[in-house]
Amino acid sequence: MRRWWHSARVLVGLGLAIAVLICGVLAPLIAPHDPNAQDLLATLQPAAWQAGGDSTHLLGTDSLGRDVLARLIYGARVAITVALAASFGAMVIGSALAYLAGYFGGRVDWLIGRAVDVWMSFPPVVLSLILMTGLGVGERNVIFAIILVDWTRFCRVLRSEVLVVRRRDYVAAARLVGFSHWQTLTREIVPATIPLLVTLLTLEMGIAIVVEAILSFVGLGVSPDQIAWGQMIADGREAIYQAPWTLLAPVLAIFLAVAGFNMLGDGLRRSLDVRMVEGRE
């Protein structure tokens, strides 16, 4: 029962994540309208099933008469690009430093540990805003800012795992057989931490989607001509009394995307972690 439930959760998470991915990749093919086409005679139209709704605009239109569903689908593009690029970038930097700190210890560990301390004393939102001031708006800069803020999440968690793995007998054995530091790291230590890394990566994708939405919401995210869920929320908030669905649609999209990645990450953690698998039976 437990097993089944957990795999069901992973599947639902995977399904949601893939759905966002497909929307992002195939946006031009599946979007019912041009997301930027304005129709000032049909602004703030309700969704198709509501009174006065029109089946050509399934989720209605926004304050400039643009199709909400089309914008939602195109918004997935930015969301998924940022999620993938930023989380991979943060993982590469954070885990490289974590391996160095955890494996070599000593001064390297001290230095990296203090860097993490300094970084963590900034609330993430504040740090990303400061970075966006410097970098300027744009998709690439959003990715860059998230990498620069979130590498610590990987570094902190992974470092303690490397500390544990480093003390295992097979690592000592590898060194005795004559493996170099590099060989020991890449052949013995990295593979042992892959499950944790995959879990952190999945969870980070959800976080990246939220951060991108936050930055776009305050107008410091992707450039204004790109379509992002955060911008749709900012627009929808202005029309909350007349057309609440223009706010609720992107809110729901963000929720589903993040829930998807979280369920996937949570499920993977349970199925990949040997200790938890053993404890469960």
Partner 1 sequence: MRLLASLTRRLLVAVPILLVVSALLFTALRVLPVDPAAMSMPPNATRAEIEQARIQMGLNKPLPVQYAIWLGRAAHGDFGQSIHLRRDALRLVAETLPATIELTGAAMLVAGILGVAGGLLLFALRDRKAELVAETATTVLMSVPEFIWALLFIFIFGVLLPVLPFTGRLAPSLDRPVVTGFLLLDAVLVGRMDVLMSALAHMVLPALALGLAFSTPVMRVLRASLLDVYHEDYIRQARLRGLSETRILLRHALKNAFLPTLTLLGVQFGFLFGGSLLIEVIYSYPGMGNLMVDAVRNADLPVIQLVGLTYCVVVLFINSVVDGLYQVLNPRLRAR
- Measured CA to CA, the distance from residue 40 to residue 20 in angstroms comes to 29
For position 254 contacting partner 1 by CB under 8 A, the verdict is yes
Q: Verify binding: residue 266, partner 1, rule CB under 8 A.
A: yes
| Tokens encoding 77 | 């593009």
Q: Is 15 in the site for partner 1 (CB under 8 A)?
A: no
The stretch among 63-71, 79-87, 93-101, 243-251 that binds partner 1 (CB under 8 A) is: 243-251
Count of chain residues binding partner 1 (CB under 8 A): 45
Please give the full DSSP string across 108-149, using - where no structure is assigned. HHHHHHHHHHHHHTS-HHHHHHHHHHHH-SSHHHHHHHHHHH
Which residues, at least 6 apart from 257, have a Cβ–Cβ distance to it below 8 Å? 16, 17, 20, 76, 79, 83, 206, 209
Q: Which amino acid is at 6?
A: H
SS3 67: strand
Q: Tokens 């070599």 appear where?
A: 104
Closest CA to 58 of 88, 93, 31: 31
Cα–Cα distance, 234 to 221 (Å, whole number): 12
CB of 268 to partner 1, least distance (A): 12
d(CA 116, CA 152): 6
Return the residues of window 128-187 that contact partner 1 according to CB under 8 A: 129-134, 136
Q: Which of the stretches 22-30, 68-76, 112-120, 189-197 binds partner 1 when contact is defined by CB under 8 A?
A: 112-120
Q: How far is the CB of 188 from partner 1 (least distance, A)?
A: 30
Q: Under rule CB under 8 A, which residues in 199-238 are in contact with partner 1?
A: 206, 210, 213-214, 217-220, 233, 237
Burial grade of 49 (CB within 10 A; 0-12, 13-18, 19 or more): exposed
Query: If binding is defined by CB under 8 A, does position 50 make contact with partner 1?
Result: no
Query: Is position 196 an interface residue for partner 1 (rule: CB under 8 A)?
Result: no
Residue 49 within binding range of partner 1, rule CB under 8 A: no
DSSP structural state of residue 78: H
Three-state secondary structure call for residue 178: coil
Q: How far is the CB of 135 from partner 1 (least distance, A)?
A: 9
Per CB under 8 A, 9 contacts partner 1? yes
Q: Which is nearer to partner 1, 171 or 210 (CB)?
A: 210
Interface residues with partner 1 (CB under 8 A)? 1-2, 5, 9, 114, 117-118, 120-127, 129-134, 136, 206, 210, 213-214, 217-220, 233, 237, 240-241, 244, 247-248, 251, 254-255, 258-259, 262-263, 266
